[in-house]
Amino acid sequence: MPPKRVTGRSNKGFLSSTYEALTSPENASVVRSVTIFGVAVAFLASPWSEYLLPPV
């Protein structure tokens, strides 16, 4: 009996498919925008945001 042929794609794990989606060139602008938004929120929520206030 000849060996069976494997057809179709093998299932990828969650982490590898997520990494592939994040590093895909077609998603680069979305990933960049979400990253910049997250950094801005973290900066504004930190004590460093007081440097944006004008001196009194």
Per-residue pLDDT of the chain (56 residues; tens, 9 = 90+): 777 776 666 678 999 999 999 999 999 999 999 999 999 999 999 999 999 888 88
- Claim: this prediction has a pTM higher than 0.85: no
CB of 43 closer than 8 Å to CB of 49: yes
d(CA 34, CA 45): 16
Q: How far apart are the first and last CA of the chain?
A: 87
d(CA 30, CA 36): 10
d(CA 43, CA 55): 19
